[in-house]
Amino acid sequence: MAYRIAVLISGSGSNLQAIIDRIEQGVLDARITLVVSNKPGVKGLERAEKHSLPFAVIEHKQYPSREDFDAALVRVIKESGADGVILAGFMRIVTPVLINAFSGNILNIHPSIQPSFPGVNAQKQAAEYAVRISGCSIHFVDEKMDHGPIIIQAAVPALAEDDEKSLGSRILILEHRIFPQAVHWLAQGRLEVRGRTVVVRDAPPPAVVHIDSFPALVSPGLEQGF
């Protein structure tokens, strides 16, 4: 039986789409049981509907606390039968209510090379800081924001003329490559957390891939189809 995931979004859902595409291509061994947005009318919900995926809108503003909101999330996710939770552009800080309900089975994506530039607008922070290298990270979720053990990272050159949009678009291409890969490893039970180190069983060695005309380093490397 395929590993069952709920995907949480707040916006366009481009990483949701990347996951859907790999599942439909038969390379990602998972099944989406539910897509949840904390905002109505976002494009990510259109993507879910287009692919005949169950979806729900749970507006955080309707709950008196983060814990109450997360309790509502836990209820619908468990009702969907999901084993794990994928935060794909979910712009909410989650609490132990959600974390403990799916301990060791919650992944998040962050558009920086962690631990740099935590929080919102990481691409803007990186461009304004004039970094020379930027990228993205997939990590397990713990009780600190953008902090949990890192599974896979990808690095791309940052150019002197970059702004938030240009750097962010380059990073986004990498996000769409490494996020489905990390979900696949989770689904296959190939991730082992040892302190802050995540061991990926039988992972490919670090490798250089190309996005447009730019080389990008991915560690661990990507498997075929990702």
- Of the candidate ranges 68-72, 84-88, 142-146, 153-157, the one whose mean pLDDT is the lowest: 142-146
pLDDT bracket for residue 167 (50, 70, 90): very high
pLDDT tens digits for range 30-48: 999 999 999 999 999 999 9
Q: Is the dihedral of CA 47, 15, 166, 125 positive or negative?
A: positive
Q: How far is C-alpha 64 from the geometric centre of its chain's CA atoms?
A: 27
**Catalytic annotation present for 110:** yes
Burial 42-79 (b: 16+ CB within 10 A, else e): bebbebbeebebebbebebeebeeeeebbebbbeebee
The CA distance from 30 to 80, in Å, is 14
For the chain, the structural domain boundaries read 3-219
Beta strand 191-194 pairing with 197-200: antiparallel
Residue 206 phi, psi (nearest 5): -55, 145
- Across the range 125-136, mean pLDDT stands at 97
Question: What does the block give as tokens for 75?
Answer: 């209820």
| Topology of the domain comprising 3-219 | Rossmann fold (3.40.50)
- From 110, 139, 176, 184, active-site residue: 110
pLDDT at 1 over 90: no
